[in-house]
Amino acid sequence: MIMKKTIFVVLAMLYAFTLSAQDIHGFVTKQMQTYPKSRLLDLYKSCFQDYMGAEHLVSDRQRVKAYLDDELNTTSIDDLMPWNYEPCGIDSNYYRVSIRMIKESVISEDLLLDAFIRSANSKKRPTVDSWRDRWHVIIGTIDKMRLELPYYQQDKAFIDSILSVGRYAISHSPEYREAYHPHYRIVERGIFERELKPLIEHKYLQNKNNDMDDKKQIEQLYKQMYQAMIAKDIATLNTILAEGSVLIHMTGTKQPKKQYLHEIENGTLNYYSVEDDEISITVNGTTAEMTGRSRVNAAVYGGGRHTWRLQMKSKLAKNDGRWQFVESKASTY
């Protein structure tokens, strides 16, 4: 009976080790795909953050706040990585939450600061010895992957040297800092999922819905423009086309808004019907690009009626909450 139990335990440990090796491989592969400039130092840092959490206990809130204030004041949002948060290491026990979330007013500075401090102080930290043992398993798998990372042996020796004297925390490599500008705080998974993630996901969903609303508005505006062209509704066209807008004809001729509207009004340009085939829209804040493909029946510049497969590539801008066409370039498809 004892022998069977022993065999079961050994098999379970071997199975767990195999899973661990697969998980390590998956983590490293994903990390290198996301951050190809990483060195072994950066892989190590993500793993120890996942296992150990914040680098030290936090007792002086004002000092930590002053450091975060300085980081917020000296960091441009354009320099930050585009992500809002990412899990640490292999088991995702902790999350890196970007200070972008404060700069974009998704969460408050006090909320992130409080989550960070409570995460740092929330539970007993594992021993450095236990982390050293875990790292030896991780580096054993990384060695077998033969990643050919720069300074690999030097980084490996440096990590061994700090672990040998009871230390574990290190900084990101200079290459990583230069390429990715890491500015984040470490938050324990439970705190993150209960308190921060719902706010971040709500904001993301809100932005997504706003983006969808904008796309619907632009699609409707495109259809409204053609109906106004057919009806020779100059007043409506005047609101759809921005002041200074330009139409670029298939010949390459650039026609300003005023002249274009005049030629519709006087019968030089006559539109009779339109059938939409495809409309694609990309929104970027208060600007957008749209490609519309429609079969347009028209008679222009004294010619007979003809149905063109007309493609319009347009640039739009949103002013005072209203979208307008700024430039449209015509071609066929």
Q: Are residues 190 and 301 in the same domain?
A: no
Identify whether 122 is part of a domain: yes
Q: Are residues 203 and 243 in the same domain?
A: no
Q: Are residues 172 and 236 in the same domain?
A: no
Q: Are residues 185 and 97 in the same domain?
A: yes
**Predicted pLDDT of residue 20:** 78
Range of the domain at 263: 232-332
Q: Are residues 34 and 151 in the same domain?
A: yes
**Predicted pLDDT of residue 103:** 94
Identify whether 226 is part of a domain: no
Identify whether 212 is part of a domain: no
pLDDT tens column, 90-119: 999 999 999 999 999 999 999 999 999 999
Q: Are residues 266 and 162 in the same domain?
A: no
- Of the candidates 56, 69, 53, 57, the one whose C-alpha atom is nearest the C-alpha of residue 109 is 69
Q: Which residues in the chain land under pLDDT 70?
A: 1-19, 205-212
Contacts 24+ apart (CB under 8 A), 300-308: 300/268, 300/269, 300/270, 301/268, 301/269, 302/268, 305/272, 308/332
Identify whether 187 is part of a domain: yes
Of 191, 207, 223, the residue that ends a domain is 207
**Predicted pLDDT of residue 2:** 52
Q: Are residues 149 and 268 in the same domain?
A: no
Q: Are residues 244 and 188 in the same domain?
A: no
Q: Are residues 321 and 195 in the same domain?
A: no
CB 49 within 8 A of CB 89: yes
CB 106 within 8 A of CB 200: yes
Q: Are residues 203 and 248 in the same domain?
A: no
The domain spanning residue 316 has which CATH number? 3.10.450.50
**Predicted pLDDT of residue 12:** 38
Identify whether 220 is part of a domain: no
Q: Are residues 255 and 179 in the same domain?
A: no
CB 324 within 8 A of CB 313: no
Identify whether 15 is part of a domain: yes
Q: What domain count does the chain have?
A: 2
Identify whether 150 is part of a domain: yes
Give me the residues paired with residue 103 across strands.
none
Instruction: Write the DSSP string, 183-213.
Output: -EEEEEHHHIIIIIHHHHHHHHHHHHHHHHH
User: For the whole model, what pTM was predicted?
Assistant: 0.61
Identify whether 221 is part of a domain: no
Q: Are residues 130 and 195 in the same domain?
A: yes
